[in-house]
Chain A
Amino acid sequence: MALLRSAQQGEGSSMSVTTGVDGPPKVAFFNDPKVRSIGVQAILIAVIIFFGWQMVQNTLANLERANIASGWGFLDTTAGFDLSFTLIPYSESSTYGRAITVGVLNTILVAFCGIITATIIGFIVGVMRLSKNWLVAKVAEIYIEIARNVPLLVQMFIWYKVVLAALPSPRAAWSIGDTIFLSNRGITIPKFIWGDGAWMIGVAVVAAIAGIVMLKKWAHKRQEATGEQFPVFLTSLAILFGLPLLTYFALGAPVEFEFAEQGNFNLRGGVGLVPEFAALYFALSVYTASFIAEIVRSGILAVNKGQTEASYALGLRPNPALRLVVIPQAMRVIIPPLASQYLNLTKNSSLAVAIGFPELVAAGGTVMNQSGQAVEIITIWMAVYLTISLLTSAFMNWFNARMKLVER
């Protein structure tokens, strides 16, 4: 850091050199801003390389001294431990590398779900906080102040306790028509077994989405031309569910379901989502939502009151006024801090190790402990989180650029 300071001082000199009317005054070469700037940067590079080299040398010497093998070969070793929740097939005879892949996918899953829910809760609570209803505003405020000011790790433990305490044991699982079961072992839904021609259903879903996009464009055009509105949302919903369902029956129901049934201890069969996931997901959503709510609130307050009044004057009701006039403008203030909250949520998912959800840090930690490859595992951790972070910020920057006020 100290070197950086002297680097800055080098830059400082460039400011102090005054350019006269008659051309540059003569200065000593060490006062020449260009020379200085290059010199300072060269020193910085040298220092970084020196420290990096020292670090690598020391690490290698230490690893050799401690008889620790380094390298990535351990990723192919059989793991020998099981993980409670996997998106891809995994068993105790899989490799360390696969265990880490499972962790990465779980991290992405929980971050993705958490971001969506936190955004929804955050927007609702943010608007609630501005409600004219005193009690609603107070409840929102109490929620925000508690969720924001208690460490997430503590909240995670509390949510885990609450989730487990609220749900029944698997023998007394709540079920909806014996298809979906809910117990303290998680939520279990029937497993799909795809038959012949089932891919047509996937095609139908894609077609439905494409149809909705087209419908929306058409409705927009029609409204601009005739002023008539079209119930886009309801129609879209009908298309989204109707088309695949129609295909399903038209093909003669090619998908079979494997229902879960009561086993000796647990429900057997079906696809499950473990309660650790639920606790992590709730805790992350609730915690991040409290920050998002404040961002939303300040975003809405940042929109000039005249905008609301103008939209009322044009005859919009409060709800459309908020949705069509205020929020789109507020979004410009909201998006940049929202992006950093998304990043925080993704990084905070690493706390799951405390409540036993096998995401990246938990799975990697187990591998680290069994194999002793600390440097490699921590490198993987950092690389994966860095990649996710950079991708998320790239996406949010793109989104931000799209939402930006286009000034004529």
Chain B
Amino acid sequence: MSDIHSQRDLAYVRTEEAPAMPAPLTVSGPIGWMRENLFPTPINSLMSLIFGALLLYVIWITLEWSVFNAVWSGEDRSACIGDGAHGACWAMARAKFGQWMYGFYPFTERWRVDVVGIVGVLALVPMMMPSLPYKRINGIFLLGIYPILTLILLTGGNFDISFLPTITVNIDTGESSLNWSVWMVAFAFVLAIVVPILFLGFVAKIISPIISAIASAAIAGGVALLLIIMSIDFGLPYVETSKWGGLLLTLVVAVTGIVASLPIGVLLALGRRSNMPVVKLFSVAFIELWRGVPLITVLFMASVVLPLFLPPGTSFDKLLRALIGVALFSSAYMAEVVRGGLQAIPKGQTEAAQALGLTYWQNMGLITLPQALKLVIPGIVNSFIGLFKDTVLVGIIGLYDLLLIVQAANTDQKWVAPQTHSTGFFFAAAVFWIFCFGMSRYSMFMERQLDTGHKN
């Protein structure tokens, strides 16, 4: 009793707990953070100081050149020459900006590029966000309808699909006994007949002959419809590919390269794992050949030697030649990425599929590939980043990609000046960095998303 009493009476005894004191300044707040993370030991402190100084120096010279000493406005080269001009010549970049984005695309037709770009972004963004629905429809749009839309808008559509008369003319003139084009068409016809039959044969076994017949007809009809759409005259002026340039061309080369390389890459990866020796040998040789040589030599081949491989008197669109080179090159890399995914799928999946009576293609299409491709999405994005950066090489064969077109400013009498060169490079480097950094962050995000916890 008395104890309690005395305690209550003692005025100097606290009745509630004292509030916690803030941690000393040296272990909390910015100072504490710095002690913890920058200066924990003498060696660490020294490293912090060295790297801090280095970082500040690099930031300073970059800003000095690109901002403080830069020329922001002017009418022609006179603004960027003389004593005051030791920094970037942004006046030139402003005058050339449209060209850097669109190349030599006619001014009045640039809206077409804008439409392609806006539609592409609107379709791609929901596709890239895993939480949003309608992936299938979106995918069909992006891979089926969008490329045709792009092709028609960028070139103007109205293609000549009447290649059959070309052959008759060639036969009539009789300049060579077996014309390449005749063989190509014969080959296409054989394919057109054989593939549906094979398709019918395989599908008919497990589904019904009627459905497979409808499917074959749908494919044939789709191709015909495609040809018809491509040959319609929409009244859009024709813009030949030699007028494409700048960021537009860079994106066209990179996106076409990656999209074309995906199916080829999948086939090559399957071929490499095939147990038919010829198929396997062919796939391995193809992959190793393209992976073993630099892209620059592939592009030289596409631009210089490919015309020699074609029959006398034929020529290819230059952009298409480069695209073929880029697609073949990247498909070899894609094949290896996909093979990595295929190897990661446990054998039990295939065995289970076989036990259920699925054919090879059903197993691949429904069981193995969906899992494998999902696994390698980060790898595909990384390949795309690599390809995107590699597109600067198409400049070497004379296509005005972003890097070449910023250099073209240096041959314009109106703007040529000592800093023109560096300014263009700085701009190109910045654009490439933004795209590649964005994509690499997305790839890391997807990696986390796809990590379904199966890995240890």
Closest-by-CB residue of B relative to A344 is B386
Instruction: Tell whether A289 is near chain B: CB-to-CB under 8 Å.
Output: no
Instruction: Tell whether B288 is near chain A: CB-to-CB under 8 Å.
Output: yes
Given the complex, which residues of B lie within 8 Å of A58, measured CB to CB?
A: 180, 308-312
Complex alpha-carbon distance, A1 and B269, angstroms = 12
Closest-by-CB residue of A relative to B434 is A149
Q: A8-B270, A12-B361, A150-B429 are in contact. Are A132 and B300 (CB under 8 A)?
A: no
Closest-by-CB residue of B relative to A8 is B270
Given the complex, which residues of A lie within 8 Å of B294, measured CB to CB?
A: 347-348, 350, 361, 385
Q: A6-B195, A15-B358, A48-B282 are in contact. Are A55 and B309 (CB under 8 A)?
A: yes
CB of A70, distance to nearest CB on chain B (Å) = 10
Complex alpha-carbon distance, A6 and B44, angstroms = 63
Given the complex, which residues of B lie within 8 Å of A232, measured CB to CB?
A: none
Given the complex, which residues of A lie within 8 Å of B276, measured CB to CB?
A: 7, 10-11, 37, 40-41
Complex alpha-carbon distance, A354 and B393, angstroms = 10
Please state if A386 and B403 are interface contacts (CB–CB under 8 Å).
no
Q: Which label, helix, strand, loop or mixed, suits the secondary structure of the A interface?
A: helix
CB of B265, distance to nearest CB on chain A (Å) = 11
Closest-by-CB residue of A relative to B362 is A12
Contact of B205 among A8, A16, A48, A158 (CB under 8 A): A16
Please state if A133 and B54 are interface contacts (CB–CB under 8 Å).
no
Please state if A9 and B361 are interface contacts (CB–CB under 8 Å).
yes
Please state if A154 and B425 are interface contacts (CB–CB under 8 Å).
yes
Q: A153-B392, A385-B292 are in contact. Are A136 and B47 (CB under 8 A)?
A: yes
Complex alpha-carbon distance, A63 and B308, angstroms = 7
Please state if B357 and A18 are interface contacts (CB–CB under 8 Å).
yes
Instruction: Tell whether A2 is near chain B: CB-to-CB under 8 Å.
Output: yes
Per the 8 Å Cβ criterion, residues 47-68 of A in contact with B are 48, 50, 54-55, 58-59, 61-63, 65
**Which size bracket describes the interface of B in this complex?**
35 or more
Complex alpha-carbon distance, A149 and B444, angstroms = 14
Closest-by-CB residue of B relative to A65 is B312
Please state if A154 and B432 are interface contacts (CB–CB under 8 Å).
yes
Given the complex, which residues of B lie within 8 Å of A59, measured CB to CB?
A: 308-309
Given the complex, which residues of B lie within 8 Å of A13, measured CB to CB?
A: 202, 359-360
Given the complex, which residues of A lie within 8 Å of B283, measured CB to CB?
A: 4
Per the 8 Å Cβ criterion, residues 397-433 of B in contact with A are 403, 422, 425, 428-429, 432-433
Contact with A along B254-298 (1 / 0, CB 8 A): 000000000110010011001111110011000011011111110
Contact of B390 among A9, A149, A151, A375 (CB under 8 A): A151
CB of A285, distance to nearest CB on chain B (Å) = 17
Given the complex, which residues of A lie within 8 Å of B403, measured CB to CB?
A: 151, 153-154
Please state if A343 and B293 are interface contacts (CB–CB under 8 Å).
no
Closest-by-CB residue of A relative to B407 is A157
Contact of B48 among A2, A62, A133 (CB under 8 A): A133
Please state if B305 and A378 are interface contacts (CB–CB under 8 Å).
yes
> Looking at B270, B310, B429, B436, which has the most chain A CB atoms within 10 Å of its CB?
B429
Complex alpha-carbon distance, A7 and B361, angstroms = 11
Contact with B along A1-44 (1 / 0, CB 8 A): 11111111111111110100000000000000000010011001
Instruction: Tell whether A134 is near chain B: CB-to-CB under 8 Å.
Output: yes
| Chain B residues near A (Cβ < 8 Å) | 33, 37-38, 40, 44, 47-48, 51-52, 54-55, 180, 183, 191, 194-195, 198, 202, 205, 263-264, 267, 270-271, 274-279, 282-283, 288-289, 291-297, 300-301, 304-305, 307-312, 354, 357-361, 363, 385, 389-390, 392-393, 396, 403, 422, 425, 428-429, 432-433, 436-437, 440
9 contacts between A and B (CB under 8 A): A2-B191, A12-B202, A13-B202, A44-B278, A58-B308, A151-B389, A350-B296, A381-B300, A389-B291
